[in-house]
Amino acid sequence: MAHTRADRSGRGNRSGQGDGSLLLVLLLLTGVGLAALFSSSYFWAEQLYGDAFRLIRRQAVYVVLGVTLAFVASRVSLDRLRGTVLLLLLGGLLSMILTFVPGLGEEYLGARRWILLFGYSFQPSEFIKVIVIFYLAHILSKKEDRLNDALNNIVPPMIVVGLFAAIIYLQNDFSTAAFVIGLALLMLFAARVRFRFFIGLAIVILPLTIILLLTREHRVLRILAFIDPELDRFGAGYQVLAARIALENGGAWGAGIGQSLQKFGSLPEPHSDFVFAIIGEEFGFVGILSVVALFAAFAVKGYQIALRATDTFRSLIAFGVTSSIFLQALLNMAVVCGLVPATGIPLPFFSAGGSSVLMSFLMCGLLVNVARTTDGPMASVSGDADHG
């Protein structure tokens, strides 16, 4: 994403108005997400905590904190923040290491992905997504005229990204590690890195990915459950089948708000990774299409902002945060619909979880920040570093 006219225009329009349609989409995603979460969570909250409102109340607190974080991110100087990129990398690395420290790191279902402080848990890998986006936007824009020299200008930052992904993998979180690598590759593509670099990278990454997938039994079981859930209908295939039943129950128009049956114990943790299944059961195919449309509208606005950004640095930030949220949504919805194996990736703005909520709003704040300084008309994208 190399800009011509946009770069020459300085910092563009600083009216501070941002993008009203983007804010409307975010408001709808947040409101619908909270409503869907409450409908899917109150039974489990009552069973686990004796308080039907506990999960939605906590989520609402995270939303308020997230909105505050987004406001700050929308107003901060990205150029000044750019000067702290090394500190961000070190802070991210430290937070990842702390998950392995006894007394600080929290283990759940065999994974050590959380830091526990004062009764609240935080998942550093969510923050790493933001750091990777910001770091690559900084490096790729700084070296955009030298990206043809992959060995000196692309391989080193990818080693840094690979280090973060390796630590996430050691936390027993293969899906997030793979997502971080995929996000980095998308940003390289947006920066117009030569296509032959991706071919070379694929020769290394694909065999390694297959090996890592096949060396853990639970990952193999997930793949087999995706191919045929009936092979292990009470184990790895159980959630897949329960989600399928929920979607079938919903039909075209849904059973009605609050009328889901699968959330009453049949679908494990319906308020988390499979909240989309409850939306499908209660609001049917129409509800599913509506949620997909909201995320698609977010993606369209986000990529428009990326194309109109005043410089490559801001363009890559907008592209990265838009891609991160949109692709997480697509992956989560694809899992629920049985199109890909289970990943454990949450649905942004819908799934319960403070770390995901906070980082989603932080990303949106950065996107609004870029939108506030756009030129208005769509900037042209040159081919200074082509894909040849």
As for how many domains the chain has, the answer is: 2
Q: Is 10's pLDDT higher than 70?
A: no
CA distance linking residue 76 with residue 375, whole number of Å: 19
- Compute the mean pLDDT over every residue in the chain, rounded to the nearest whole number: 88
- Answer whether residue 243 is part of any domain: yes
Helix (H/G/I), strand (E/B), else coil: 113: strand
Query: In the prediction, which pLDDT does 16 show?
Result: 43
Between the CA of residue 139 and those of 146, 189, 316, what are the distances in Å?
11, 14, 10
Residue 14 has pLDDT above 60, yes or no: no
Residues 189 and 281 in one domain: no
pLDDT-derived band at 329, boundaries 50, 70, 90: very high
Position 9 pLDDT exceeds 60: no
For residues 151-160, average pLDDT: 93
Please report, rounded to a whole number, the percentage of residues in the chain having pLDDT higher than 70: 91
**Half-sphere exposure of residue 305: CA atoms within 13 angstroms, side-chain side:** 32
Higher pLDDT, 273 or 348: 348
Supply the pLDDT for residue 11: 47
When comparing pLDDT for 259 and 103, which is higher?
Answer: 259
Residues 274 and 200 in one domain: no
Q: Which pLDDT band, with edges at 50, 70 and 90, does 240 fall under?
A: confident
Are residues 309 and 374 in contact, defined by beta-carbon separation less than 8 angstroms? yes
Tell me, yes or no, whether 387 lies in a domain.
no
**With bands split at pLDDT 50, 70 and 90, how would you rate the model's confidence at 142?**
very high
Lowest mean pLDDT among 46-60, 161-175, 215-229: 215-229
Among 215, 247, 270, the domain boundary falls at 215
Domain housing 69: 28-75+229-376
Whole-model pTM: value is: 0.90
* Same domain (yes/no): 295, 233: yes
- The whole-number pLDDT of residue 375 equals 57
- 64/122 same-domain check: no
Task: Read off the tokens for 89.
Answer: 């990398």
